[in-house]
Amino acid sequence: MKIDLVCLGIGKGATYVMKGKPSSAFAIRVDEKPTLLVDCGAGVVLSCLKNLNGAIPDAIYITHNHMDHTGDLPIAIDAIREQNGTKPRILGHSSVLSLVKKHRLHELTATGKSLKEIADWIEPDSSNVIVVEDDLIVRLFQSVHSYTCYGFMLEKSDRAILGYSADSAFDEDIYAKIAQAPVAIVDGRETGNHDHASFREIETFGKHIPNCSIPVSY
């Protein structure tokens, strides 16, 4: 089985409007099949169509409800239903999904559709685990962010494959956790703050984990 990652964008909130570049998002493919979309901000649906051979994964994990992570979600939901004839699965922590349902999808529910008609909402079990498919899972943890936000560890057959901090300030415990995978994607800015790690913090930490590659989204 081959699992790979397709980067769909690394932009911030206004990047799509100001520069035509999509917000931060990536897709996980299993044997070339787009299986999981991670976040769905501005411009991400078009990026899926361009970079995933016209497909939008019908499972979408949402880290948090900021526009650059959920702005295209209403578009994606309608596109998946039209593309596959099925409801998408929206994955995420219950506290994140409750915000998405209330604040991001009003334009869909205003037509009279219920949230259950729009999508299947998949929340973690008591171990903070969500099954993506078969034995491919995401194990959630809360990021250090002023808005409710959850990163995850992607695991296959009980083996860590990919760690993702989501938007998060630098936190050594979180970074040590996701660095157990061979690849750990982290969020960074030139200057760190209470919501985002700095490039210097990431670089310093990375020197101590030679067995883990650390791509940076920003």
Task: Give the residue-averaged pLDDT of 158-167.
Answer: 97
Q: How confident is the model at residue 110 (pLDDT cuts 50, 70, 90)?
A: confident
Predicted pLDDT at 216: 80
pLDDT tens readout for residues 50-74:
999 999 999 999 999 999 999 999 9
Q: How far apart are the first and last CA of the chain?
A: 30
Residue 95: CB atoms within 10 A of its CB come to 14
CA distance 57 to 151: 19
Task: Give the residue-averaged pLDDT of 22-37.
Answer: 97
Task: Give the residue-averaged pLDDT of 155-183.
Answer: 96
Task: Give the residue-averaged pLDDT of 95-114.
Answer: 92
Q: How confident is the model at residue 177 (pLDDT cuts 50, 70, 90)?
A: very high
With 0-12 / 13-18 / 19 or more C-beta atoms within 10 angstroms meaning exposed / middle / buried, residue 190 is: exposed
Chain-centre distance for alpha carbon 175: 17
Q: Is 15's pLDDT higher than 70?
A: yes
Percent of the chain, pLDDT > 90? Answer: 86
Which of 42-51, 52-61, 206-215 is the least confident region? Answer: 206-215
Residue with tokens 């909402």: 121
Q: Is 130's pLDDT higher than 70?
A: yes
Q: How confident is the model at residue 21 (pLDDT cuts 50, 70, 90)?
A: very high
CA distance 116 to 194: 35
Contact yes or no for 165/142 (Cβ under 8 A)? no
Chain-centre distance for alpha carbon 88: 15
CA distance 25 to 180: 22
Q: How confident is the model at residue 218 (pLDDT cuts 50, 70, 90)?
A: low
pTM for the model stands at 0.96
